[in-house]
Copies of this chain bind each other. A is one copy, B any other.
């Protein structure tokens, strides 16, 4: 596995770095960003929070706009921000912002032409952590978080792999993609008509049936334009009640879907994950 450094910036005593590498599961060149806190420079193996971004984003949105580095530096947590889809000229795409490049939905596509490159689920669960843990001074303690489409990704990936993540969190997640316009469009295109497959990528479905638990924090803005039609936190909350899932879901008056909302509460998420990352044994 060869990876190439693209940029490096000192940040809060640690380092923000961008890399590119050839992905074996996505069959294309991918870029990701990593924030290494100061503790990583002194030989300590730090735990990692994976951050999954929303529609249209790249590795850059979170790193530039969330203001997460200050608290990550204080807590000694690395952050990895992957891209949101496969990239490159030979990767299938669509003109709309909510399908194709920038809209990988963190799943493994089964339908042509998407099934050639769109395997973001495997990339996030397996290939990327393997690369990160082989390359950087990090431990195998992992947490996962995300925003909107990335909130969907974080919750579904953690619930399907509870042995691999200490904790999961989301801002404004698409909680029930089988039952909202963004999700129905993406799932029918990438996964076809088999709704049993859809359920494997639906946080509310997974939470309702869960028997193994990953501690979960979800923040949602009450002034979010996508709240009613796309995000539907009440469905996730109802699912948690069925399985008695350890979900803390908070609604914040006045806050919208933007990074101004994420920045306002990212410290809470880092503190939440730190409690589990810094007290857990290694993960498989």
Report which A residues bind B (CB closer than 8 A). Answer: 9-13, 16, 64-65, 67, 69-70, 221, 223, 252, 254-256, 258-261, 263-264, 267
Pair B260/A10 contact, Cβ less than 8 Å: yes
Beta-carbon contact of B223 and A263 below 8 Å: no
Are A9 and B261 neighbours in the complex by a CB distance under 8 Å?
yes
Complex CA distance for A12 and B154, rounded to whole angstroms = 24
A11 partner residues in chain B, CB cutoff 8 A: 260-261, 263-264
| Cα of A169 to Cα of B69 in the assembled complex, Å | 23
Of all A-B residue pairs in the complex, the 9 with the closest CB atoms, nearest first, are: A67-B67, A9-B260, A10-B254, A11-B260, A10-B255, A12-B264, A64-B65, A9-B258, A16-B260
For this complex, 22 residue pairs linking A to B, each with C-beta atoms less than 8 Å apart, are A9-B258, A9-B260, A10-B223, A10-B252, A10-B254, A10-B255, A10-B256, A10-B261, A11-B260, A11-B261, A11-B263, A11-B264, A12-B264, A64-B65, A64-B259, A67-B67, A67-B70, A67-B263, A69-B260, A69-B263, A69-B264, A70-B264
Report B-chain residues with C-beta under 8 Å of the C-beta of A261: 9-11
Q: Which of A10, A11, A65, A69 has the most CB of B within 10 A?
A: A10
User: How distant is the Cα of A116 from the Cα of B209 in the complex, in angstroms?
Assistant: 68
Chain B residues whose C-beta falls within 8 Å of the C-beta of A64 in the assembled complex:
64-65, 259
A258 contacts which chain B residues (CB < 8 A)?
9
Write out the residue numbers on chain B whose beta carbons fall within 8 Å of the beta carbon of A252. Answer: 10
- Report how far A260 CA is from B223 CA in the complex, Å: 29
B residues within 8 A CB of A254? 10
Tell me the bound Cα distance from A256 to B260 in angstroms. 25
The residue in chain B whose Cβ has the minimal distance to the Cβ of A253 is B10
Instruction: A10-B221, A13-B264 given; name 4 further pairs at CB < 8 Å.
Output: A10-B255, A12-B264, A70-B264, A70-B267
Closest to A65 in B: B64
B residues within 8 A CB of A221? 10
Q: Within the complex, which residue of B9, B70, B264 is in contact with A10, where a contact is CB–CB below 8 Å? A: B264
Instruction: Report the bound CA distance from A65 to B53 in whole Å.
Output: 16
| Whole-angstrom CA separation of A207 from B260 in the bound complex | 37
Q: Determine how close the nearest CB of chain B comes to the CB of A70; give it in whole angstroms.
A: 7
CB distance from A38 to the nearest CB of B (A): 11
Distance between Cα atoms of A258 and B16 in the complex (Å):
11
Q: In this complex, what residue of B is CB-closest to A69?
A: B263
